[in-house]
Amino acid sequence: MEKLGVGIIGCGWVAEEYVKAFGKDERSEVRALVSRNRANAERYRDRYDLQCSIETDANIMLDQENVDIAVVCTPHNLHTKYVVAAAEAGKHVIIEKPVALTIEDVRKQQEAVKKNKVKTIVSFVLHWNPLLISIDRLIEQGVFGNIFMVEVDYLHRIWMTPEEKWFASREQSGTAILTGGCHAVDALRWFARSEVEQVCAYQVKTENPLEYPGTISVNVKFKDGKIGRSTTSFDAQMPYRFNIGVYGTEGAVRNDELFAPKLFPGQNDFMKIPCILPDSGDVAHHPFQGEVSHFLDCIIDDKKPFPDLDDAAQTQAVCFAADLSAESGRPVKISELGK
């Protein structure tokens, strides 16, 4: 089988994980690296002995006939520019989260993808973490009965000035829930099996030098009647935590602790699920291999990837509604954000 060619736009920290993941799947190879700073691209080419082109202009890479997949892992505010260009060039697209910083930019990406009939996947990479996979399967099996509440938190100490990292900038990075908390919102929607109808949120600004408030607490109402809760915090002096809670009438799970009498009759306390946990903010700990292999499967077998851009747009809408609610001091319906 002819290998699928990959071009990576943006050669920062996350890009290296894509280089490694595509390199380990025999169905693909990295054929182009793009960075405004040529040296950033050259370091990955040399480190992994890649036979690929090095470009400072993404349009040159997108013109390469041997590139089938474009990976967009630039600063957040530049995603739309490159996603649209990649779609128009007929490339399938991997989009780093968050998709975009405005609902208008999300719609622009959706329009370009739909018009050009390319496949997308958005890098909510924890979909391939073993704990989240296990919880998803337990939900699918009906182990928890009627699920009425879901909670997911993203707690990650990020304390740095705009001079140190671009994601301290509101213009480039957005907000706390867009920058990191969108992972939690994605999992919240995934486990609820329902779309969000209304959001109510509060935020606080500490002495953290980030340009935006580093902590936001969000309550949501789902269309099917469930409720949900999510907290994002970059401010707390504590180890990274990605907390998960799924509560049903016949069982519950809190992180890696499971109470499921339907599976284990007579169970009278939580039991541990022994697996790899989502317990590190280091991108090298995240399961990019699972994401990349899933996307290759979907391209080769002509299947719908999950989560694709359309699904991620729903997660983005919840994040936008949460920020609007926190800023305005009122509940916000998703329908207010427009089509």
| Bridge partners (DSSP) listed for residue 210 | none
Q: Where in the chain do CATH 3.30.360.10 domains reside?
A: 127-281+315-337
- The predicted-structure confidence for 304-313, as pLDDT tens digits, reads as follows 999 999 999 9
Residue 339 has pLDDT above 80, yes or no: no
Report pTM. Answer: 0.96
Name the phi and psi angles at 220, rounded to 5. -130, 155
Q: Where in the chain do CATH 3.40.50.720 domains reside?
A: 4-118
Residue 40 burial by CB count (10 A; 0-12/13-18/19+): exposed, middle or buried?
middle
The reported pLDDT for the residue numbered 168 is 80
Torsion of CA 107, 242, 257, 139, to 10 degrees: 0
Which tokens belong to 7? 């071009």
- The predicted-structure confidence for 163-182, as pLDDT tens digits, reads as follows 666 778 899 889 999 999 99
- Which residue in 321, 38, 57 sits closest to 175, CA to CA? 321
Q: What is the 3-state secondary structure (H, E, C) of the chain?
A: CCCEEEEEECCCHHHHHHHHHHHHCCCEEEEEEECCCHHHHHHHHHHCCCCCEEECCHHHHHCCCCCCEEEECCCHHHHHHHHHHHHHCCCEEEECCCCCCCHHHHHHHHHHHHHHCCCEEECCHHHHCHHHHHHHHHHHCCCCCCEEEEEECEECCCCCCCCCCHHHCHHHHCCHHHHHHHHHHHHHHHHHCCCEEEEEEEEECCCCCCCCCCEEEEEEEECCCCEEEEEEECCCCCCCECCEEEEECCEEEECCEEECCCCCCCCCCCEECCCCCCCCCCHHHCCHHHHHHHHHHHHHHCCCCCCCHHHHHHHHHHHHHHHHHHHHCCCEEHHHHCC
Look at the domain 127-281+315-337 and name its fold.
Dihydrodipicolinate Reductase; domain 2 (3.30.360)
**Does residue 307 have a cis bond before it (omega within 30 degrees)?**
yes
Given the candidates 3.40.50.300, 3.40.50.12500, 3.40.50.720, 2.20.25.190, the CATH classification of the domain at 4-118 is: 3.40.50.720
Conformational region of residue 31, where left means phi above 0, alpha means psi within -120 to 50, and beta covers everything else:
alpha
Percent of the chain with pLDDT over 90: 95
Length of the chain, in residues: 339
Q: Which residues of 97-112 are buried (b: 16+ CB within 10 A; e: fewer)?
A: bbbbbebebbebbbeb
The reported pLDDT for the residue numbered 146 is 98
Residue 320 has pLDDT above 60, yes or no: yes
Q: Which residue has the higher pLDDT, 286 or 167?
A: 286
- The predicted-structure confidence for 202-247, as pLDDT tens digits, reads as follows 999 999 999 999 999 999 999 999 999 999 999 999 999 999 999 9
Residue 1 has pLDDT above 90, yes or no: no
Residue 43 burial by CB count (10 A; 0-12/13-18/19+): exposed, middle or buried?
middle
Provide the terminal-to-terminal Cα distance of the chain, rounded to the nearest Å: 41
- The predicted-structure confidence for 81-102, as pLDDT tens digits, reads as follows 999 999 999 999 999 999 999 9
